Each structure stands twice: as structure tokens, then as C-alpha cells.
Amino acid sequence: MPTLQCDRSFSNFASLQIPFNYLKAKYPQKLICEKLGLNNDQIRSALAYIEIHPVDFEAEYQECLQTAEEIRQYWEERNRERFAKIAAMPPKPDQEVLRAKLQAWKMRIEAQAKL
């Protein structure tokens, strides 16, 4: 019986997570197969595991969501200083024309949105 480990077998988890989301949304099995391009054996296997082990799966699902959030926060904090340095850099001379065009385009869009 497979165990879901978000750090070692993310692809296995993801392959169960997607049908799980459809299952929670009350999609019929046939539609889940069509949307995900799975055959009947694949979807039955995934759904059987989820239905037989709902508590375990939900716990591992929440753990993986938490891990994903921690990873996102780590990279956001790690890159914050780098992004600030990049934003503070003066534009390259060859980009000034492009930046002027972009600014004019933004102003046109904002003016149209106010109408």
C-alpha cells in the first residue's frame, strides 16, 4: 500500500491530489477520467486508495499543503532582498525606449479604464 510522502514522492501525491480535489467537488468518476486523461483502472486505483484511507490521505494532504506553504515563504523571504536590489537598479540604457513605451501603454490603459 503506497504511503504519500510530499518530500520524496511528490508526483505520487500530486497524482492522487488532483482526483481528490475533483472527488471533493462531487465530480462523477467518468468526468474525472476525461478531464485528467486517465483510464478506468488508474482512476479506480487512485480513488480506491483515497476512499479506503480518507483520514490518512487528508492528513498527508494537509501536511503537503503546509510544506508547500513553508517552501513558498522560504523562497519569498530569500528573494526579497534580491528583488529589492534588482528593483533599485537603474534601467539599462538600451531599455529606456522600451520603458517609455511601456509607461505610455500603462497610462493609456488606465485612462481607458476610468472612462
**48 within domain boundaries:** yes
Position 47 pLDDT exceeds 90: no
**104 within domain boundaries:** yes
**4 within domain boundaries:** no
CA separation for the pair 65, 58 (Å, rounded): 10
Backbone angles phi, psi at 4, to 5 degrees: -85, 125
How far are the Cα atoms of 15, 32, 64, 104 from residue 42, in angstroms, in the given order? Answer: 10, 11, 22, 52
Give the closest residue to 47 by CA, choosing from 8, 66, 36.
Answer: 36
Q: pLDDT (tens digit, 9 = 90+) per residue, 51-105?
A: 888 898 888 888 878 988 999 999 999 999 999 999 899 878 888 888 889 999 9
Q: pLDDT (tens digit, 9 = 90+) per residue, 2-35?
A: 333 444 444 455 567 777 778 778 888 888 888 8
**20 within domain boundaries:** yes
**5 within domain boundaries:** no
Domain that holds residue 75: 10-114
CA separation for the pair 29, 109 (Å, rounded): 44
Question: Is this model's pTM higher than 0.85 or not?
Answer: no
**40 within domain boundaries:** yes
Torsion of CA 62, 64, 70, 72, to 10 degrees: -110
**45 within domain boundaries:** yes
**Number of independent structural domains in the chain:** 1
